[in-house]
Amino acid sequence: MIQAFGLTSNPRKDLPPAVDDVSFEARAGHVTALLGTPGSGRTTVLRLMLELQQGRGFTYFRGRPLHRIAHPSREVGVLLGDVPGHPARSVRGHLRILCAAAGVPVRRADEVLETVGLVSLRDERLGTLSRGMDRRLGLACALLADPHTLVLDDPADDLSAREARWLHGTLRAHAAQGGTVLLAMSDPKEAARNADRVVTLERGRVVADQDVTEFARTRLRPRVAVRSPYALRLAALLAKEARTARRSVEIVREGGNRLSVYGSTCADIGDTAFRHGILVHQLADETGDMGPGAGASSAAEPDGADASGRPRAQLADDATGKPGTAQRRVTDQPDTPPRPAAAADGAQETAATADLSARDDSAPGADPAPRPRSTDTRGLALTPLPPPISVRSAPSPLRPLRYEIRRATGIGTGFLTAAAVLLVSAVTAVLLARIGHTPQARLLAAWPRELPLPPAALGAGLLGALAFGDEFRHPALAADRGTVPRRLGLLTAKLLVAAATALTLAFLTVGCDAELLYLVYGRELAQVPADWPSLGASWMGLVVGCAWAGVLAAGIFRSTTAGLAAVLAVPVVVVPLVQKALAGASVRTAAGFPLRLRETLWLQWPFGGERYLSVVARVLVQPVGGALTLSLAALLCAYLLTTLRSRVR
């Protein structure tokens, strides 16, 4: 079950808080509706419960706050707004990403697709889904980890009647299996049809916490409460006059001598009783206090429809046609399983009672006079200052490497970028060979002297920047996980995938350029340089470094553009600064570094290890290599500092 106590949002400047001291319960095995008009604070309540917004109060999910749950997505399934995700990603691919994030088997994606009826659309892109299919996918994301609790914000918004019935039927089935369902909605009729309990919000406060039967009877529509020893005769007269005047009036026999009349007023009923000499003990207007939306909903209700949206059966006299008899009518109720009695009513009823008789209320056959009810809806007594709610840090995907691989391969951006890089590199290599005066190494890398970086390095940097940029622009992780997580596990997975992608791109670029140069100009321009080990290490280090710079910069600045700008800043800004700092006669090279290192450590390098170490040293002393290393170190330190700062908060 869900237990919310004292939820209060932080005040906004001179305005009062959007939510003020909200407390309620949502029981297991029941569907609870959090009802309120737009601006009543129902979405803010959900965000405070899920620790996505700062405020005060606390919420228990089966006795534990959310930040104390090891794997929140396995306990609480959430749908807030539209489904997050890249519009070019397929439905099945998006669910598989979330499977890796939640640590559930990948086959679970196909199971929930079958549950929500999206098997035929599993290869469709998220950007092409209709509103109804998007809500189905959102429900699939919430059900993916088989959670006990579902928290959904207006899940049937803009759905057709058929899709809304299916959605609420699925939620009802989840509750029937022992789960807890909490829905935020704005339509009182929808709440009366589909919920077991309704918590009504108005201006950020709970104004009612009722069983749905009591809600439909006292708050969904205004009524007139009548108590008379001659209730049956009065009901028949009211029904007859309503038919004559062609008005929709509903009369419900409450038991004993009490009637509830919907669609009429105290004045009309009093006039009818006076004309026919009928004794009345009570005549009271009972009006719900749901705020501006309630009256509009009731007024928009067509004639001949009750609270559940079904046609009303008009009252009529019995077959004898005699006055003083009328058919007993009971308000139609939604087709829902039996519901438990309410623990606290919480309705506030305004009763204006007119005593039309001098007789005592204790006359024979009369019911005791009803009393206005006013129940405290705050639940338990709370302290004046509830504990603060801190925005919880989003947990890292439980399987970060699998998550990152599926994120990178789930859309065509990476493949299109690689194809564009290979095409531009091949054309550039052919043009450089035609012009001449280009070293063999630069020719194979398609790197003109006029450009700060080769196309392969720029492409690797762009793919690295997209690794974090897409997380912020089109979050693959569910919205209920908070901000994009800054976890070293996720960063390591992104760096590994970016490095593998960059190395593949570098190898394909050199291979395609060499093959095309061989086809166009012959074997002379396609020969491998003699010092290929050091050149290959420099080439791979440059491409991988650009990819990592893009990943780190995009993660720090939360933007793909910033990541690509950081890659371009290395040769344009950092390299000149490094060259200027290293200029001078006192600068020494790293010649003989492997030999001196071996002498220092008294080790014999196997398999010619000093040669590889010499290659690494020569890469580092190059201006671009040194500048790139310096940039990567600075970006990594900045990322670690932002990570620690977010954890401290």
User: How many CA within 13 A on the CB side of residue 457?
Assistant: 28
The residue type found at 638 is A
Q: In the predicted model, is pLDDT for residue 340 greater than 50?
A: no
Question: Residues 488, 490, 493, 499: is their CA dihedral positive or negative?
Answer: negative
What does the alpha-carbon distance between residue 447 and residue 643 come to, in Å, rounded to a whole number?
36
What does the alpha-carbon distance between residue 440 and residue 514 come to, in Å, rounded to a whole number?
10
- In DSSP notation, 269-283 reads HHHHHHHTT---SEE
Q: In the predicted model, is pLDDT for residue 146 greater than 80?
A: yes
- Helices (H), ranges, 335-454: 400-409, 413-435, 440-445
Q: In the predicted model, is pLDDT for residue 23 greater than 90?
A: yes
* Contact yes or no for 139/108 (Cβ under 8 A): no
Q: In the predicted model, is pLDDT for residue 139 greater than 80?
A: yes
What does the alpha-carbon distance between residue 421 and residue 445 come to, in Å, rounded to a whole number?
11
Quote the pLDDT of residue 595.
59
Quote the pLDDT of residue 604.
54
| Phi, then psi, of 197 in degrees rounded to 5 | -145, 145
Q: In the predicted model, is pLDDT for residue 310 greater than 50?
A: no
Q: pLDDT-derived band of residue 582, with 50, 70 and 90 as boundaries? A: low
* Contact yes or no for 178/168 (Cβ under 8 A): no
**Token pair for residue 427?**
């054309």
**Token pair for residue 361?**
């209320």
Mean pLDDT is lowest, of 267-276, 326-335, 390-399, 592-601, for 326-335
The residue type found at 246 is R
pLDDT tens-digit series, residues 391-444: 877 778 889 999 999 999 999 999 999 999 999 999 999 999 988 888 888 889
β partners of residue 77: 150
Mean pLDDT of the chain: 79
The residue type found at 467 is A
Q: pLDDT-derived band of residue 598, with 50, 70 and 90 as boundaries? A: low
Q: pLDDT-derived band of residue 593, with 50, 70 and 90 as boundaries? A: low
pLDDT tens-digit series, residues 519-567: 998 888 888 788 888 788 889 989 999 999 999 999 999 889 999 999 9
| Phi, then psi, of 439 in degrees rounded to 5 | -60, 155
235 to each of 90, 230, 262, 287, 370, how far by Cα in Å? 60, 9, 12, 21, 19
255 to each of 49, 133, 461, 549, how far by Cα in Å? 41, 46, 77, 77
What does the alpha-carbon distance between residue 221 and residue 289 come to, in Å, rounded to a whole number?
10
| Phi, then psi, of 233 in degrees rounded to 5 | -65, -40
Identify the residue whose tokens are 């995907």.
397
Quote the pLDDT of residue 100.
93
Mean pLDDT (whole number) for 371-390: 55
| Phi, then psi, of 201 in degrees rounded to 5 | -110, 145
Model-level pTM?
A: 0.72
Quote the pLDDT of residue 42.
93
Q: In the predicted model, is pLDDT for residue 358 greater than 70?
A: no
Quote the pLDDT of residue 124.
94
What does the alpha-carbon distance between residue 290 and residue 305 come to, in Å, rounded to a whole number?
20
**Token pair for residue 397?**
């995907």
547 to each of 261, 435, 511, 563, how far by Cα in Å? 73, 30, 20, 9
How far is Cα of residue 624 from the mean position of the Cα atoms in its chain? 43
Does residue 313 or residue 600 have the better pLDDT? 600
- In DSSP notation, 206-230 reads EEEEEEHHHHHHHTSS-EEEEE-TT
Q: In the predicted model, is pLDDT for residue 572 greater than 90?
A: no
Nearest by Cα to 646 from 100, 494, 638: 638
Quote the pLDDT of residue 295.
38
What does the alpha-carbon distance between residue 58 and residue 4 come to, in Å, rounded to a whole number?
6
Identify the residue whose tokens are 């035609």.
434
Q: pLDDT-derived band of residue 314, with 50, 70 and 90 as boundaries? A: very low
pLDDT tens-digit series, residues 481-499: 666 777 888 899 999 999 9
Q: pLDDT-derived band of residue 170, with 50, 70 and 90 as boundaries? A: very high
Longest dimension (CA), the chain: 121
Does residue 526 or residue 5 have the better pLDDT? 5
Phi-psi category of residue 146: left, alpha or beta, with phi > 0 → left and psi -120 to 50 → alpha: left
Q: In the predicted model, is pLDDT for residue 326 greater than 80?
A: no
